[in-house]
Every structure is written in structure tokens, then in C-alpha cells.
Amino acid sequence: MNDTLRVPGDVLAALDRAPGRALMLGHVHPDADVLGTLLAIAEALRARRWSVVAGGPHRAPDALSFLPGVEGYEVLKTLDGTFDVVVLTDCPNPDRTEGLIDAAKDAAPVVVNIDHHPDNRRYGTVNWIDVGAAATGEMVYRLLTALRAPVTPTIATNLFTAVHTDTGSFRYSNVTPETFDIAAALTAAGARPEVVSSALYERRAPDALRLLADALARVRVSDDGRVAWLALPSGAVPERLIESEELVNYPRSIGSVKVACLLRELGGARVKVSLRGKGEVDVNKIAAAFGGGGHANAAGCTVSGTLEVVTRRILDAVSAALAAPR
Ligand code: AMP
Ligand code: MN
Ligand code: MN
């Protein structure tokens, strides 16, 4: 792989310059792909004597407290001062910054948008969208290599975790030979797969399995077995369980299931919906019909209405998508 050729010149030019002040701006409810990539770029720029602020509208979840440098990730409601460059990763649209992108555009001449979502709105002054990348983590590995930035063990851990989580531990259809090439390079650079796996999946609290059992008792499966869903009234399970478990993966794990849904009642009569597919339907099209988006096999949206009504509407849309010829 010739990394320099595969990273657009304007992306390299935005970062390969005299040090200044940079903002690494995260999306709402940050996951490992956005955090790992922003922390990796932040470390690489700081090594080049940039002054870097990393943060976003929401705090990093406790489940990702093991990511090196995440303690410096700030909750930002407004932006202080000006920046020479703002970088967003894994963020398909400006809505997912709760308005910070508009402030960032006023505060900086250059906004770099690095993402792998097919519905990316190209809101940056520089846009690099690679829908073939399993994770933004793969793109940022290529970026740092092209910049000849040393991939330290802490950068490697951040990027390995980004790739690990967005591929469901290297299990999903987005995995390519290059995913493994990059994971191998990151492991050679000091990422430790067993440490990352254990940090992600073996740090449950003593009461977590009981809470998980309570939540999973609510899973429902359609008569034909092709759709499974989990509808959670607000307060039904503690927030920390939702943060630490990818609950939608449990209905997804049923063999006959083609589309899995997690519906979480939020305050204010809104429901957060997560959709997962297995190639039969593009769940991002279903999410888009409700104002959301995502990837073909992993998408989400937030819908107004009661849990009961939103569940019905989503299930109807899923049935229609499964019935429609592709
Ligand atoms: P989630 O189900 O929240 O883990 O999200 C799965 C995928 O869908 C991620 O790639 C998100 O970027 C995307 N996604 C989730 N919620 C939304 C939304 N409200 N609008 C656009 N994309 C979303
Ligand atoms: Mn993300
Ligand atoms: Mn991602």
C-alpha cells in the first residue's frame, strides 16, 4: 500500500505545516472510533509542538477510560479562541456536533473532515471520505504513516481500539485484507490485542450480568424470526449498562435475524434507535427516513414519540424494507 498516494494532498497539507493551535472535535456520544482517531492525531501533532485541544459535546464514556490520553478529552459547549486547523473524524454531519461545527468554522480557516460514513455531508473545507474503510481508525493510520509521524504504542492502542470496535472485533462484513494489514502494523507498533479486548469486554461490574439479564428479558422476535428488537423504557436499565454493553448485538446474534433494533426511550418523548443489518437491507436507508443515518449494516436515528409508537413505526419500516425487492 502506498499511503502517500491514498491520502489526499489537501489533507496532508492541512496538517504537515508549521505548528499552531489545533482542535480535535468529536461527535455526540463519542465511541472508540472517534476518540481513538482524535487522540492519535492529537498525540502526533503535539509531538510536532502543536498546541492541541481535544473535545466534543459529550464526555468520553467510562467504558473507554482506558484509551491513552482520553483523560484530556474535554466536554465543550463553546469554543475558546481561534485555531489554525480543526479536525473532525467519524462525523458524517454537522448535527452530530450539537452546533460546535459552526463555531469551529468561525474559529478556524481550515476544517478537515475525515470519515468513512457513506452519508457524509462534506461539511469541511477539506473532506476525505473513504466508505471502504472499516473504521476511521484505518484512515488515520494511513494518514499518520503518510505524514511520517511515529506510531507510538499509545497511538497504536488508540487506533487498534478504533478498528477493533467498528469491526465488531474483526467480525463484520466491513473487514478487508487491509484491516488486518493495519491491525498487524498497529500490533507491531505496540498495541496489545489482549489488553484491548480485556479492557473492552472483561471489565464488567459485579452486578452487570444480572442487569443484562433483566434487559435481555425484553428482547422480542418477530413471528418469522427475521427481526428482533429490544425496547427499553427510560430508567428500565441503568445508563452505565447501556454505555458499557452494545445491547443491540444481542438481538443481532439470533441466527434467523436479518435486522436487529434497539429502541431506548429518552426524556422529552424521544426514542433513540439503533439498527443493525446483515446485508439483506441497508439499515441506513431506514434510519435516513427518520432523519438519521449511518452505514449499510449499522445505523441510527432519534425519533419523536412514545416508545410504543416509535417501536411500531420502526418495525413497520423494517418489515417494508425486508419485503421490498433489492
Ligand atoms: P449506533 O446505533 O448509535 O451505535 O450508531 C450506529 C451508526 O449509525 C454509527 O455509524 C452512527 O454514526 C450512525 N448513527 C447513529 N445515530 C445517528 C443519527 N441520529 N444520525 C446519523 N447517524 C447516526
Ligand atoms: Mn463513531
Ligand atoms: Mn466509525
- What's the rounded Cα separation, in Å, for the pair 53 and 188? 28
Task: Please say if the pLDDT value at position 1 is more than 90.
Answer: no
Q: What is the mean pLDDT of residues 238-260?
A: 95
- What's the rounded Cα separation, in Å, for the pair 160 and 158? 6
Phi, psi torsion values for 265, nearest 5 degrees = -70, 125
Which cell is 162 given?
478504533
Distance 26 CA to ligand 1 centre (A): 14
The one-letter amino acid at 241? L
Q: What is the pLDDT of residue 325?
A: 78
Consecutive H or E run containing 294 = strand 293-295
CA angle 271, 273, 278 (to 5 degrees): 165
314 within 8 A of 273, measured Cβ to Cβ: yes
Task: Please say if the pLDDT value at position 81 is more than 80.
Answer: yes
Which cell is 76 given?
465543550
User: Quick check: CB of 57 below 6 Å from ligand 1?
Assistant: no
Consecutive H or E run containing 315 = helix 307-323
Task: Please say if the pLDDT value at position 92 is more than 90.
Answer: yes
pTM attached to this predicted model: 0.94
Task: Please say if the pLDDT value at position 3 is more than 60.
Answer: no
Query: Could you identify the residue written with the cell 467510562?
Result: 62
Spatial CA neighbour of 116 closest among 104, 107, 129: 129
The one-letter amino acid at 256? S
pLDDT digits over 31-62, tens only? 999 999 999 999 999 999 999 999 999 999 99
Spatial CA neighbour of 149 closest among 15, 5, 18, 52: 15
Distance of CA 43 to the CA centre of its chain: 20
Q: What is the pLDDT of residue 277?
A: 97
Concatenating the DSSP letter of every residue in 159-219 gives HHHHHHHHTTTTTSTT--HHHHHHHHHHHHTT--HHHHHHHHHS---TTHHHHHHHHHTTE
Distance 210 CA to ligand 3 centre (A): 30
pLDDT above 70 covers a percentage of the chain that reads 98
User: Quick check: CB of 292 below 6 Å from ligand 1?
Assistant: yes
Q: What is the pLDDT of residue 130?
A: 97
Task: Please say if the pLDDT value at position 69 is more than 70.
Answer: yes
pLDDT digits over 272-308, tens only? 999 999 999 999 999 999 999 999 999 999 999 999 9
Which among 165, 229, 274 is the best mutation to test ligand 1's pocket, defined by most ligand atoms within 8 Å of the CB? 274
pLDDT above 90 covers a percentage of the chain that reads 96
Q: What is the pLDDT of residue 110?
A: 98
Which cell is 44 given?
502526533
Q: At how many degrees (to 10) do helices 193-201 and 153-166 cross?
A: 50
Task: Please say if the pLDDT value at position 326 is more than 90.
Answer: no
Q: What is the mean pLDDT of residues 225-231?
A: 98
Distance 92 CA to ligand 2 centre (A): 9
Q: How confident is the model at residue 220 (pLDDT cuts 50, 70, 90)?
A: very high
Q: What is the mean pLDDT of residues 108-134?
A: 97
Is residue 78 exposed (0-12), middle (13-18) or buried (19+ Cβ within 10 Å)? Answer: exposed
- What's the rounded Cα separation, in Å, for the pair 250 and 209? 13
Which cell is 33 given?
472510533
Average per-residue pLDDT for the chain: 96
User: Quick check: CB of 295 below 6 Å from ligand 1?
Assistant: yes
Task: Please say if the pLDDT value at position 230 is more than 80.
Answer: yes
